[in-house]
Amino acid sequence: MKTTLEIPDTIFRRAKSAAAVRGIPLREYVTEAVKDKLTVDAASTEKPWMAAFGKLRHLRKETAKISKVIEEEFEQIEAEDRL
């Protein structure tokens, strides 16, 4: 498909130069660049919550200790309520 794009001069010159260094037409270089960008964007937006999945695993033991202290304190409070 043919289209018209407005690209800043500096970016156009850099892209044209990079395409020439690789020995490919600017059209092919731009197509590859857009394809790469779409791939990266798709991968990063698929499951953004996965980036942090499991990062707090190292706090499991600490969480268990805190839960135990809280439970012990509530047991004392409940015992006082029974009196």
- pLDDT tens for each residue of 45-77: 666 666 677 777 888 899 999 999 999 888 877
Q: How many CA atoms lie within 13 A of 11 on its CB side?
A: 7
Q: Decide: 40 and 32 in contact? Cβ < 8 Å.
A: no
Structure confidence at residue 9 (pLDDT): 95
Q: Decide: 51 and 37 in contact? Cβ < 8 Å.
A: no
Can you read off the two tokens belonging to residue 16? 């044209």
Residue showing tokens 């059209």: 27
Q: Name the residue ranges covered by the structural domains of the chain.
A: 9-82
In this structure, the chain runs to a length of: 83
d(CA 33, CA 42): 14
